[in-house]
Amino acid sequence: MAESNVAGKIELASDSQQSTTRSKAEIQAWMITHLEEALELDPGELRADESFDRYGLDSTEAVNLMSSLEDWLGVELEPNLPYEYPTIDELAEHLAAGGTGG
Amino acid sequence: MSASAASGASAEAIQRHYDVGNDFYELFLDETRTYSCAMFDPAEMQHESLESAQCRKMDWHAQHSGAIGTARVLDVGCGWGGGLKRLVSQHGVQHGVGLTLSEAQFEYARSTCGPKIEVRLEGWAEHKPDQPYDAIISVGAFEHFARFGDTPAQKLASYRHYFERCHELLSVGAQMSLQTIAYGDIPRTRTFRDTFIADEVFPESDLPRLAEIAEACEDLFEISLVRNDREHYARTCRMWFNQLRAQKDEAIGLVGREVTERYERLLRTFSYSFSLGAFVLLRIALRRSGRSR
Ligand SMILES: C[S@@+](CC[C@H](N)C(=O)[O-])C[C@H]1O[C@@H](n2cnc3c(N)ncnc32)[C@H](O)[C@@H]1O
């Protein structure tokens, strides 16, 4: 695989996925599935315009969410994003527009 | 073992993490094989090489432990020996002694370190040299000096035990430096729902808090300087993660998918935790108290 020093490179050399552009709707759907599972919520319980706080998203789960999102999107993300964009709506919109940092 | 003689994680627990394979660590560590937070030039944070930042870190420790130009220096938790090599080659140290509990590190360091360095497969609690040291450096080992699940009193006793040993090992007026991860804005009362780190990555280990360190060394050491460089560890872990990701196939060939992915998860989670302030990275300069005890 890659032999060069990848330090500083933003795109992740994921084994499964190259960096892909996703629409806001796709990102929203992905986050809802991921969070309903992680937070053990019933399908349909999570609303895109309610804050993550309300669903008890703690820092460990925020970190797990961002790790999985990085791999799925194939880009490096800042872990403070769920705090800067505290709803699924806002975060998905930010990511769909190509934002990575908080 | 009595509570007052506790000294943290056992050799078996340490080996579970550090003995997965020298060639695996070589894939993602820099040339100096340093496995702890680097110190970047703040103006070059995103561009400086990891190796150059690791050397700057070691130079900081050489200076703040007062090791430069001395006869005998102890490195508690010496890893693969890169720090000791720099002390004897760049900082005029005549004799360096390194302690590690990892057999793989011990074998590697012993065969590469040269005649001025003595590497020992031994914990600090067991180390009984016949002469005192002029300086002690410990980088990235204090994280293993208390056990996950210890009560606050047990943790304090373990840390106190460490500082008492260091006080005995140092000559009068000597200095030492300590670098360790500590809990940041995680409340003390927090119970962990996700114990991935304690269960799978660093068994038998728990992190300190700055206040615990300060209390444990009271009247044994004077604290002359404390730095929190957590952004430097966020960057260091991210660079390790990127290196490992870029060589994932080789890594899987060496240690298998499960171990490789456990390290990926560890490195990325740590990078995030430092970015968010859940963990901090402390570099502390200490001076041995002269008061007779
Ligand atoms: C993260 S590594 C850091 C190595 C090195 N200082 C560096 O910066 O690359 C932690 C080291 O602490 C050592 N260690 C852990 N517990 C110890 C103990 N009780 N006594 C001596 N060394 C210990 C491990 O064997 C390992 O070498």
Distance from Cα A51 to the centre of ligand 1, integer Å: 42
Handedness of CA B158, B167, B75, B40 (dihedral sign): positive
Whether A93 and chain B come into contact, CB under 8 Å, resolves to: no
The residue count of chain B comes to 293
Length of chain A: 102
* Mean model confidence pLDDT for chain B: 94
Residue B236 has pLDDT above 90, yes or no: yes
pLDDT at A10: 45
- pLDDT score for B33: 97
- Which B residues 266-285 touch A at CB under 8 Å? 268-269, 271-273, 275-276, 278
Number of A/B CB contacts below 8 angstroms equals 60
Sheet of B279-288: strand order equals B117-121, B95-100, B72-76, B133-139, B170-183, B279-288, B221-228
Q: Using one digit for the tens of pLDDT, what is the confidence trace for B13-36?
A: 999 899 999 999 999 999 999 999
Which numeric CATH code is attached to A2-96?
Answer: 1.10.1200.10
**Torsion angle of alpha carbons B233, B237, B243, B248, nearest 10°?**
170
Q: What phi, psi does B2 have (nearest 5°)?
A: -75, 155
Please judge whether A67 and B269 are an interchain contact, meaning their C-beta atoms are less than 8 angstroms apart: yes
Query: Chain A contact for B188, CB < 8 A?
Result: no
Mean pLDDT throughout B94-108? 98
Q: Which residue positions in chain A have pLDDT lower than 50?
A: 1-11, 13-16
pLDDT tens for residues B257-269?
A: 999 999 999 999 9
Structure-token match 């020992």, residue found: B120
Q: Is the CB of B136 under 6 A from ligand 1?
A: no
B278:A67 CB<8 A: no
| Whole-number percent of chain B with pLDDT over 90 | 87
Whether the pLDDT of residue B4 is over 80: the answer is no
Does B87 have pLDDT greater than 50?
yes
Domain ranges of chain A: 2-96
Q: Which fold has domain B5-19+45-230+278-287?
A: Rossmann fold (3.40.50)
Lowest-pLDDT choice from A53-57, B27-31, B38-42, B169-173:
A53-57
Question: Candidates B22, B65, B78: which one to mutate for ligand 1, based on the most atoms within 8 Å of Cβ?
Answer: B78
How confident is the model at residue B161, as a pLDDT? 98
Mean pLDDT of B33-54: 96
Task: Search chain B and give the residue with CA nearest A58.
Answer: B193
